[in-house]
Amino acid sequence: REGSGHRDRLWAAGLHAVATSPLVGWGAGGYRPAEHAPPGVSVHDAPNIVKAHNQLLTIAAEAGVPGAVLFLV
C-alpha cells in the first residue's frame, strides 16, 4: 500500500519552519506542517499531522538547528 505521496510537501514545510526560526525552533509541539508551509505549497491541514516525515527535520523545526545537532551527538 502506498502512502499519501506528500512527503516532499511535508519536507518543504519542515525546511521552511527551520529557515524561519533556525536558532530556537518553534518549541516542543509547536511545529505543524500546515502552519509552516512555504508560499505556494499545499499541505494537508489535519491537526494530527505534526511531523515533517523526517525525525531530524522535525527536531530541527521544533528545537532549532542547535537542538538537531545535539540530537545527533
For 46, the grid coordinates are: 489535519
pTM over 0.95: no
- The pLDDT tens digits for 33-63 are 878 878 877 776 655 666 777 899 999 999 9
Q: Per mean pLDDT, which range of 4-8, 12-16, 45-49, 55-59 is the poorest?
A: 45-49
Supply the DSSP symbol for 38.
Answer: P
For 11, the grid coordinates are: 519536507
Q: Report how far residue 22's alpha carbon sits from residue 43's, in angstroms, rounded to the nearest whole number.
A: 21
What is the pLDDT, as a whole number, of residue 42?
76
